């Protein structure tokens, strides 16, 4: 496969709702500039946004990275913990551990992980309770 | 820019002072100042009229048809937008307005508000078959918004309701009605939209939603308003045309009128082109999929805020809302009965869009993705060196757009006044140094 052409990286702070959405909107703009089709850009943006929100809501902070290749984009969301105890349960629709104040903001409906899974071509999650979580999503630029 | 675009928004070099007002307000970053004058990038312009509204020097205008063009036809029908009524106090009856139009040279009048009622019913029935709809559906009434979606939000094209805007339905109905009534050949009848905005005028010459329009042209309301105002006081009501549209059709002239007419409960009303762009962004992120319908209008307040309307936007809103309320007092109780009110409506597919709306993306830097990626890298590098204050003095709306223009070969780094100052300072320093060679070799100074 070709060399990684472009890497974008964004710091995500726990509880920083003011800047939430910045990573996904910048990644979205870059993909639009390189000419990725609108529907795929939309899926990347949605998946990244969900991931960004997850890190901000549930973790101690982390990073969002985009590795952009001519044929596909890989989004990696990594955080410093506290990790997910039961991944099987976490990827089920409607399951959420979000605190009330977050739900009051309109987030934390338990759709984050399922949405990320359904909008990406390839979804991987690695996590351990007490450690960090790493999510990798892959999006082909052309429909298979 | 390989395609040729027609635009109604035209710009007057003489009047332009090269200030940065228009480039700052353009929702698609379609304007640059080059050589001290504004230039519109044709592929990006959506004819929203924001620059016309904002220009302090009146250097932007809409190139619409005028009353003089009416002379080309034997028989002429005026299609007043509901927003025309907003330019007059509610005490001025529609029959009086029609009589004034008659005096201005039109032989007949067909209210766009009447067609809006037909469109209302089509939307209502379309939205009833909920299953499988891409929610939220987006109103198709505002041509500037359709163009905004084409250039900035192409992934939302499938959300636009596939029903024609009222003006197109009005044109078809008017042409049919007056061909029948006069016995004239359809092509000898002039059908003229009296328009509150440049976007509607553009859609006639370059339609995005119809394969062939039934309109002959669009005449900007501001172009004949003075004339009309002069004669309307002295005029008496004539029987040139009866006011047929109900309060629901007329209400389409202000933001929220379409939703009110269709009775769609789970809906949202958004007006002002920047606000609409914001909401489209959210729709694109799937954050609005639990809303059924969104009425999006580019002008603040809806069509009554159109750039080709002379009256103050709030006076216009007051005028139209009062007119609607007074009319409503005399109408039957139910919304549907009122809209249907003794009128046969050509139910069928007459109001359905017959052309697929095409994307017109403007963000792509190059057709070759590898080159485009390189350009993204270059833009990032250049941007890091720019001051980041988005002053617009270079002629591009933001530092980011200047960086993009530089990479695309459309601007130079020294267009930035801060960059230029650095270069001049460096040059000055260089110049003030005594020439090295002279001193080194001869050592004869002093």
pLDDT in tens, B332-391: 888 888 988 756 555 544 677 777 888 888 889 999 999 999 999 999 999 999 999 999
Q: What is the largest CA-CA distance in chain A?
A: 45
- Inter-chain residue contact B376 with A6, CB threshold 8 Å: yes
Contacts of A6 in chain B (CB under 8 A): 373, 376-377
- Check A46 against B285: CB less than 8 A apart: yes
Is residue A53 less than 8 Å (CB to CB) from chain B?
A: no
A-B contacts (CB, under 8 Å): 52
Name the one residue in this structure whose structure tokens are 């929702």: B27
Q: Are B399 and B383 in contact, with CB atoms under 8 Å apart?
A: yes
Is-contact B172 B110, C-beta < 8 A?
Answer: no
Long-range contacts of A89-95 (CB under 8 A, 24+ apart): A90/A125, A91/A117, A91/A125
B134 inside 8 A of chain A by CB: no
Q: Which of A29, A35, A49 sits opposite B372 (nearest CB)?
A: A35
Q: What is the distance between the alpha carbons of residues A125 and A55, in angstroms, rounded to a whole number? A: 13
Whether a cis peptide bond, with omega within 30° of 0, leads into B136 is yes
Q: Smallest CA–CA separation between B139 and chain A, in Å?
A: 20
Residue B437's pLDDT is: 61
Residue of A nearest to B149 (CA): A38
Strands B60-62 and B9-11: antiparallel
- Searching chain A, which residue's CA lies closest to the CA of residue B371? A34
- Do B69 and B86 form a contact (C-beta atoms < 8 A)? no
Closest-CA distance of chain B to residue A4, Å? 11
Q: Residue B359 contacts by C-beta under 8 Å, 6 or more apart in sequence?
A: A38, B150, B154, B157
Pairwise CA distance, residues A135 & A125, whole Å: 5
Instruction: Say which of A29, A39, A68 has its CB closest to residue B373.
Output: A68
Q: Note whether A49 contacts B: Cβ–Cβ < 8 A.
A: yes
Contact A24, A48 (CB under 8 A): yes
**Residue of B373, B380, B381 to mutate for A, most A C-beta atoms under 10 A:** B373
- B310 touches A at CB < 8 Å: no
B367 and A33 within 8 Å at the Cβ level: the answer is no
Among candidates B325, B330, B350, which has minimal Cα distance to B341?
B330
- Judge whether B172 and B214 are in contact, CB under 8 Å: yes
Of B153, B284, B373, the CB nearest to A5: B373
- pLDDT tens digits for range A62-78: 999 999 999 999 999 99
**ipTM over 0.85 threshold:** no
- Over the range B29-65, which residues count as b (16 or more CB within 10 Å of their CB) and which as e? bbbbbbeebbbbbebbbbbbbbbbbebeeebbbbbbb
Tell me the pLDDT tens digit for each residue of B291-325.
Answer: 999 999 999 999 999 999 999 999 999 999 999 99
Length of chain B: 446
pLDDT of residue A99: 77
Q: Kindly report whether the peptide bond that precedes residue A82 is cis, defined as omega within 30 degrees of 0.
A: yes
**Probe site for chain A from B156, B372, B375, B408 (most A CB atoms < 10 A):** B372
CB pair distance less than 8 Å for A39 and B155? yes
CB-based contacts of B106, cutoff 8 Å, min separation 6 = B70, B76, B77, B78, B192
Question: Can you read off the two tokens belonging to residue A97?
Answer: 């551990």
The per-residue pLDDT for range B198-235, each reduced to its tens digit, is 888 887 877 887 878 899 999 999 999 999 999 998 88
- Hey, is the C-beta of B385 within 8 angstroms of any chain A C-beta? no
Tell me the pTM. 0.88
Quickly count helices (H) and strands (E) in chain B: 18, 11
Structure confidence at residue A4 (pLDDT): 59
Mutate to test the interface with A, among B286, B291, B379, B408 (most CBs of A within 10 A): B286
- Residue B275's SS3 state is helix
Residue B3, C-beta contacts closer than 8 angstroms, at least 6 positions apart: B43
**Least confident piece of the model among B164-173, B235-244, B320-329:** B235-244
Q: CA B267 to CA B87: how far, in whole Å?
A: 28
Query: Closest chain A residue to B158 measured between Cα atoms?
Result: A39
Nearest CA distance, A83 vs chain B (angstrom): 26
Give the CA radius of gyration of chain A. Answer: 15
The CA distance from A3 to the nearest CA of chain B, in Å, is: 11
More confident residue, A4 or B292: B292
Angle, CA of B4, B5 and B11, to the nearest 5°:
120
- Number of helical H runs and strand E runs in chain A: 5, 5
């Amino acid at each position: 496969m070709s060399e990684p052409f472009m890497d974008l990286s964004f710091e995500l702070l726990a509880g920083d709702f003011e800047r939430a959405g910045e990573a996904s909107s910048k990644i979205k703009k870059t993909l639009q500039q390189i000419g990725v089709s609108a529907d795929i850009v939309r899926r990347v943006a949605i998946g990244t946004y969900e991931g960004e929100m997850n890190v901000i809501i549930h973790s101690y902070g982390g990073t969002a990275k985009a590795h952009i290749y001519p044929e596909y984009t890989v989004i990696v969301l990594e955080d410093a913990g506290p990790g997910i105890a039961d991944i099987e349960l976490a990827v089920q629709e409607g399951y959420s551990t979000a605190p009330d104040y977050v739900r009051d903001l309109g987030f934390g409906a338990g759709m984050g992980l399922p949405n990320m899974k359904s909008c990406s071509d390839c979804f991987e999650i690695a996590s351990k309770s007490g450690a960090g979580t790493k999510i990798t999503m892959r999006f082909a630029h052309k429909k298979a | 820019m390989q395609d040729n675009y027609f635009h109604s928004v035209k710009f007057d070099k003489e009047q332009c002072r090269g200030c940065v007002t228009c480039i700052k307000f353009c929702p698609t970053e379609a304007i640059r100042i080059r050589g001290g004058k504004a230039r519109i990038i044709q592929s990006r312009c959506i004819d929203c009229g924001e620059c016309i509204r904002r220009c302090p020097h009146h250097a932007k205008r809409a190139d619409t048809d005028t009353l003089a063009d009416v002379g080309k036809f034997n028989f002429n029908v005026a299609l007043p937008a509901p927003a025309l009524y907003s330019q007059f106090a509610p005490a001025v009856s529609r029959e009086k307005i029609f009589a004034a139009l008659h005096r201005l040279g039109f032989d007949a009048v067909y209210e766009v508000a009447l067609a809006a009622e037909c469109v209302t019913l089509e939307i209502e029935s379309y939205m009833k078959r909920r299953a499988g709809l891409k929610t939220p559906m987006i109103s198709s009434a505002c041509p500037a918004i359709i163009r905004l979606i084409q250039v900035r939000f192409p992934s939302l094209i499938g959300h636009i309701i596939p029903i024609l805007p009222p003006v197109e339905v009005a044109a078809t109905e008017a042409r049919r009605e007056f061909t029948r009534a006069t016995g004239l050949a359809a092509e000898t009848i002039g059908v003229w939209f009296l328009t509150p905005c440049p976007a509607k005028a553009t859609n006639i010459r370059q339609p995005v939603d119809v394969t062939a329009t039934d309109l002959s042209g669009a005449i900007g309301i501001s172009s004949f308003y003075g004339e009309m105002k002069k004669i309307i006081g002295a005029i008496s009501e004539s029987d040139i045309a009866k006011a047929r549209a109900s309060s629901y059709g007329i209400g389409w002239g202000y933001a929220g009128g379409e939703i009110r007419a269709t009775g769609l409960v789970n809906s949202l009303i958004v007006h002002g082109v920047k606000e609409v762009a914001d909401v489209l962004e959210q729709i694109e992120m799937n954050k609005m999929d639990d809303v059924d319908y969104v009425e999006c209008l580019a002008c603040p307040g809806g069509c009554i805020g159109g750039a080709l309307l002379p009256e103050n936007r709030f006076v216009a809103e007051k005028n139209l809302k009062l007119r609607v309320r007074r009319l409503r007092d005399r109408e039957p109780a139910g919304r549907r009965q009122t809209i249907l009110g003794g009128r046969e409506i050509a139910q069928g597919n007459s109001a359905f869009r017959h052309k697929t709306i095409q994307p017109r993306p403007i963000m792509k830097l190059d057709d070759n993705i590898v080159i485009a990626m390189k350009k993204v890298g270059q833009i990032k590098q250049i941007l890091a060196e720019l001051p980041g204050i988005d002053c617009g003095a270079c002629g591009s709306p933001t530092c980011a757009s200047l960086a993009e223009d530089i990479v695309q070969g459309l601007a130079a780094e020294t267009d930035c006044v801060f960059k230029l100052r650095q270069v001049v300072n460096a040059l000055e320093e260089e110049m003030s140094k005594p020439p090295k060679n002279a001193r080194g070799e001869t050592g004869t100074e002093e």
